[in-house]
Structure 1
């Protein structure tokens, strides 16, 4: 079995980590039991480009239980947990191509490795698999019947491809499911981003000014948790509705050129490029800490930061100090990559339980309906979304009401008024 990981000897530790995460993923565990009985993915090759974490490992095991032939590579050079990668190879017989800290060329060689196995389903986190398939490996496209996409950034890229009629097969936008973005993006990113910053810096949030660039679901989660820890939160936005919402939620809202002057911590979560750029670096405080929790490090204009600096020093793991020519110091965390995965462990298993339930059921949905689906970005049917939520409530021991026949009739009628 081909693979490329750091060290097989890490497998035992990885297995314990995977088991620990699995305890908090009851929805995915239930799906795995169902898959083991029905084998909806029997004989299907699945190429997954995801963060190689303990939670992802439980998804891979679920897909394998459903009969899939799974291959996994990393969706970010710094997000791999090497012991988890080792366990999947040694204990589960799943080919993994991922090493924490891999360079640019290795990263793309790993993506190529899983694609050259001629998958029928792609499972993406940022659309790098799809991008390579549609550019360098077009000859493999006839083998693919569909795919899934986990992130906001990836969905943006895929929708652009679909608009230009370039997308060659249907892709389920897992990120657009309510049981994904309302929970994973808000609660998962909110908690894990601050966790990553604290692990990297050991700095105090209370009394500090935290600038959150972007007020989507990820930005909302980060702002809320930073505020809860005593920080003064500033939000920057380009959408007037989101800007207004942030103001109504109690945060200061201003352009980045103004926020750059007052921030102690800067966190980008927009999915766009150069959100923090040259003009911002020129006015930041001495000691400002800059990081990203969006999918790609392009949100921070790192080349501009390097040009403005006279010296760069690694002060701690995942902390690079750039000394500006005027003597100010700016700290870049995790090379500008996803800080929650670079220096921490990513989202808690409780929220990934729902996200990966969407991935698993999304793959099953593709197998059942691929021939009828358009070559476009599609959303999992709402009834599947609601089923995931219902399973999660059951696992948490929470009950909710159901409509009475009278209530159902009222909601479906137009005759009954006041």
Structure 2
């Protein structure tokens, strides 16, 4: 076991922090009916008894409800953060107080401690990994390859992590099966669109105290997250411009009624810029030269590389904190460019970092929970590599959610099902 200390051995006022964290978790739990439904099943049947789960996630209240569910299903769980600024220390302490959970996550961890905490989680020798960004899978393969033989599989939460995993898989370097949770409909259609859209705009508004109405919002990327941001910004009476590199997505944005243009052209027109690509260098030197005075830059993608902050810092004549969570870069010509949350995920690293709505994360984290169950029950069916979440699991979560919402739907008759399954029914 690692000598790196858990959160409870790093902070003071443990009792107060624990109480605050448990209060946050209690509120989230009230609005996560799918997890509550699974909790009844998992408490009774203990599907994870005898297994250890290692996690690198955003450690806040909704994540904590998932972690608690896994522990109450019999697992020993070790967790740390996947972003140094998204951890809520009170929630981390609350988790660490659970007899079956060890939390190493701490807000503001420096790089050395960030990776030491991942190593500490892996010192528990997990059979299942759960990632948000793939840092844990990478650490297993690069630093702890001895664990691969005993790891049954993993699950990846987010777009960037799935991209990295697929690249790793294509190179023949991914040595155990991982479910692409991000790519399943119950994640993409709700978490990525509604969750990212709502939480990003809410955090930008809270951090800046500015309105979207009447402003030009530039959305970098029109994947599922970009669609959500564009939709929600337009709903708040902003004029929306989309930038894209993929022609079909650009055409889709155009057909949805948004202006579409290159970032360097949009740079001269935008008031608020929100990147959602999961890639690096979305807003760069040429764009900084075009930005208006007072432009606001935020990242809703993943890592802090979408905005080229090193170059922006080199270009600036002055740099200062304009308000909490807002760093101003004053250019030699007097223009001020405002960057939120150090270029990290704006909905999770801002001063008020609440993340996605609880109802949305209920769906995403329920998918994680049934994927863990699937790996433990049927892990030998999956070869090393990236796997789609079985559709039956996605439908299971959708049915639980509909029931919780009091929504009834139709079912196919035997005749209809036979028609769909046949090939020889002509016109």
With the shorter chain as reference, the TM-score category is over 0.9
- Counterparts of 1:67 and 1:379, CA distance in 2: 26
Q: Is 2:356 aligned against 1:353?
A: no
Using the size of structure 2 for normalisation, the TM-score is 0.96
Residue of 380, 389, 405 corresponding to 1:396: 405
Residue pair 2:274, 2:297 contacting (<8 A) in 1 also:
yes
Residue pair 1:196, 1:342 contacting (<8 A) in 2 also:
no
Alignment of 1:17-166 (within 5 A): 17-91=24-98, 93-166=100-173
Deviation (angstroms), 1:143: 2.8
Q: Which moved more, 1:104-113 or 1:256-265?
A: 104-113
Residue pair 1:11, 1:91 contacting (<8 A) in 2 also:
no
Distance 1:218 1:92, change over 3 A: farther
- Counterparts of 1:322 and 1:140, CA distance in 2: 45
* Matching residue of 2:382: 373
Q: Is 2:309 aligned against 1:306?
A: no
* Matching residue of 2:268: 261
Q: Is 2:171 aligned against 1:171?
A: no
* CA offsets 1:53-72 (integer angstroms, 9 cap, x no match): 11011101110111110011
Provide the aligned C-alpha RMSD in A: 1.3
Residue of 282, 300, 311 corresponding to 1:293: 300
Distance 1:50 1:417, change over 3 A: same
Distance 1:42 1:91, change over 3 A: closer
Matched position secondary structure for 2:400: helix
- Counterparts of 1:229 and 1:205, CA distance in 2: 6
Deviation (angstroms), 1:415: 3.5
Alignment of 1:143-222 (within 5 A): 143-222=150-229
* Matching residue of 1:3: 6
Residue pair 2:196, 2:356 contacting (<8 A) in 1 also:
yes
Matched position secondary structure for 1:72: strand
Q: Which moved more, 1:407-416 or 1:304-313?
A: 407-416
* CA offsets 1:92-150 (integer angstroms, 9 cap, x no match): 55211112222222211111110111111110000000111111222333332211100
Matched position secondary structure for 2:297: strand
- Counterparts of 1:192 and 1:23, CA distance in 2: 19
Matched position secondary structure for 1:307: helix
Distance 1:19 1:92, change over 3 A: farther
- Counterparts of 2:305 and 2:186, CA distance in 1: 28
Deviation (angstroms), 1:386: 0.6
- Counterparts of 2:152 and 2:390, CA distance in 1: 18
- Counterparts of 1:239 and 1:169, CA distance in 2: 31
- Counterparts of 1:372 and 1:381, CA distance in 2: 12
* Matching residue of 2:289: 282
Q: Is 2:393 aligned against 1:384?
A: yes
- List runs of 5+ in structure 2 lacking aligned partners: none
Q: Is 2:316 aligned against 1:319?
A: no
Matched position secondary structure for 1:283: coil
Residue pair 2:179, 2:386 contacting (<8 A) in 1 also:
yes
* CA offsets 1:271-309 (integer angstroms, 9 cap, x no match): 111111111111100110001011101111111111111
Aligned length: 418
Matched position secondary structure for 2:6: coil
Matched position secondary structure for 1:366: helix
Q: Which moved more, 1:224-233 or 1:83-92?
A: 83-92
- Counterparts of 1:236 and 1:273, CA distance in 2: 14
* Matching residue of 1:237: 244
- Counterparts of 1:281 and 1:244, CA distance in 2: 26
Using the size of structure 1 for normalisation, the TM-score is 0.98
Deviation (angstroms), 1:235: 0.2
* Matching residue of 1:405: 414
- List runs of 5+ in structure 1 lacking aligned partners: none
Matched position secondary structure for 1:298: coil
- Counterparts of 1:197 and 1:115, CA distance in 2: 35
- Counterparts of 1:33 and 1:48, CA distance in 2: 22
